[in-house]
Structure 1
Amino acid sequence: MAKHIFITKPGDRVRLDPVDEYNHPPEAVSNFNESAYYNIYDGKQKVGGWFRIGNRVNEGHAEVSICLYLPDGKVGFMYHRARITSNAEHSAGGARFEIIEPFKRQRVTYNGKVAVLANPNDMLN
């Protein structure tokens, strides 16, 4: 089992390469997780939200979460464990994240339903 320790000290420079934007080969650990997360906000439409896909390929599924904050105070929410067999991409349960140009352009799409909650506090319990 590979273990990676990365410790930075004051003055260290951390550099990311374009290849770091893409998914990695899964490690042999049972709980390997490759996650991506995006926040969005449109000030004109007063809509915001977040999207997450967490590939747990060694467990055979991805955790897909979507939360949309709507202008009328309602919240749209979706969570799904979608079946996957590969960690090659973040595409599961109707959600898809694409790297168009590393560090500059990404595409986030979702084709599916969300549960719209008139009272977002309903999610507390």
Structure 2
Amino acid sequence: MATPTLTNPSLTAAICSLEHQAWAALCSSGADLVPLLSSNPVMIFPGNLIFTSVSSPTIGEMLQGSEFKPWKSYTLSHDEVVPLGKDSALVYYRVEATRVDETFRAICSSVWVLEGPMNSATGGWKMASHQQTLI
């Protein structure tokens, strides 16, 4: 497999699609995002919040806990994908997401990595890192 370049349209399409899948999952439940996460993910949110597989609470506990509030809708714009090697890529973009009582605007970035065989039930592209900066 050739190393992706900055103009790799298939990688860009795949990673942007995955990021949309992640936000769509967050519009139904936090638990729906869990299968898209890598084995050792890191999420950094506004308000000094950092979640990992070993934080307290863990990412899984946060996403599946009773305090998780799904988004009602989201819009991503200005998304760009930067290959980081043959098995990883970074996507960055602006997001506007809404809940009944909240509109959220941020610049976000996520790193996606290939874990395991693409054709296995648990393999393929997984989100290893996600970060949000309020705008």
Higher-RCO chain (CA-CA 8 Å, sequence separation at least 6): 2
Q: Check whether TM > 0.5.
A: no
TM-score, structure 2 as length reference? 0.35
Q: Tell which structure's C-alpha radius of gyration is larger.
A: 1
